[in-house]
Chains A and B, each alone.
Chain A
């Protein structure tokens, strides 16, 4: 399994199908657990990446040689869509009648 700290592998290696499955399943499981465990407590959880742009380049900071790679940008498209889909799916299953107060 790849390093999902969104490090160098994300910059230069496209996600495989197993990577995508891992992302979706991880986010789905986490969301399901949060919803189930904290249902009715009014707690709110935000699943968020940290400053995504720094994970698309080989360096940090505002540098002229710091252009994102096309692979990283595509990986980020996949990652955002998979994460949102997993959250949406988990909400549908676990919060059907409990989405709004």
Chain B
């Protein structure tokens, strides 16, 4: 833990009702805007401010009464940003003093799944750069019979939300598995398996029903050796165990004789099959020890557009990226009514390739994407709005347009700075024969310059023309 976090005792102010204070749609539905965050926090000090995120989790589980257009990420983003706006830095933590202080895995609520919880953790720790995350709760106190508020042996599993390490019937809960996996990953012993994601080649557009080849490279960063007999597999994610791409069971196997030792890399190259229906699907994989644990990095999430016809989506170094949709914070490829047609992912792939964005997932236009767009706009002399509209789309198109052909005037693209060979211009200045012993030298320089001119811009041609003229006059003087 960094030194500045080593206060032995701290005070944390936790709030839970934040959304109506900043989300005008929720307020317009009649929910009170007054709250501790709005009315109390601006005038107090606290070492830490905690956001109990259940109202955002409720959005993920579709039980929230608030603005129906909000996604859980919108809700978290908006609430945490509002919390930051309403609070002051603390001496102990500076501005890094806002954390998510409650979220967990109520395993009896099928939609508040471990994957949702993992997504929230990943969001909090990476996108929001939070130092901590507090789990709610190791002991389920949310049971719904006979006013019993703490789970007891009399409760059946279905009568409680399922926030527990051990169920009333003495079996282990999802919370236990989650923390066991975390412990195994963090505990330095010889039974720890781990994997580091290195790279992958995955198309972003495929034809429905067709097979395509994927390769994913992982490094064995744990203490165990991966073998088929040891039950090590590459398994499908997002959602976990999905058979969307690998209908036979969502697994990729090592060969019988293969052994990937600690420190070694393994490239899994395998054939996947596109779904039979058009649409936008996620592709993500992770190592699993079958029946024991999922471990290590997941591969970067790729949003794949499954289409009816072939279309090349691979962005080569000189392939112009044409975006047709206006995109902004909150745009989401996975929400069909937004009709982004996968362009958020396309934008993000462009930003990643141009070095403006580091991401492990594609498809949602969040804070990181907005900041990357602002950086791109600043670099290209555009107004840094963080939204992608016509001017920015044009700049994105131009950024990867390496061709010399003229483009549509509606995109206002510049003419190429590369010019065809310019010998006529050069020759007009250098056709006078300088003769004698300097002729060979003169023509050698001339042809060398002609070769150079093949590759340079018009301005440099003018410069070389001047050099040529000077050279010619010197030669003439020498001959004379």
Contact = CB atoms under 8 A, between A and B. Distances in A.
Contacts of B64: 62
A80 B35 contact: no
Interface in A14-29: 27
Interface in B1-52: 3-17, 20, 29-32, 34-37, 39-40, 43-48, 50, 52
B15 A53 contact: yes
A31 B47 CA distance: 14
Given A84-B46, A100-B3, A101-B6, A73 B11 contact: no
Given A34-B8, A66-B32, A84-B45, A48 B40 contact: no
A68 to B, nearest CB: 5
A101 B4 CA distance: 9
B3 A48 contact: no
Report the contact-size class of chain A (Cβ under 8 Å from the partner). 35 or more
Nearest to A49: B14
Contact of A44 (B7, B13, B32): B7
* Residue of B7, B16, B66, B101 with highest tally of chain A CB at under 10 A: B7
Interface in B67-126: 101-102
A3 B8 CA distance: 28
B263 interface: no
B7 A99 contact: yes
Contacts of B8: 34-35, 38-39, 43-45, 91, 95, 99
Given A73-B39, A81-B44, A84-B47, A47 B32 contact: no
Given A48-B50, A51-B16, A101 B3 contact: yes
B66 A34 contact: no
Given A80-B46, A99-B8, 18 more contacts: A34-B9, A38-B8, A43-B8, A44-B6, A46-B9, A49-B13, A51-B102, A52-B14, A54-B16, A62-B58, A62-B64, A66-B32, A73-B40, A81-B44, A87-B11, A87-B47, A91-B8, A99-B6
Interface of A: 27, 31, 34-35, 38-39, 42-54, 56, 62-64, 66-68, 73, 76-77, 80-81, 83-84, 87, 90-91, 95, 99-101
15 contacts: A38-B8, A39-B8, A45-B8, A47-B12, A51-B14, A52-B13, A62-B55, A66-B32, A73-B36, A80-B13, A80-B40, A80-B44, A80-B45, A87-B11, A91-B9
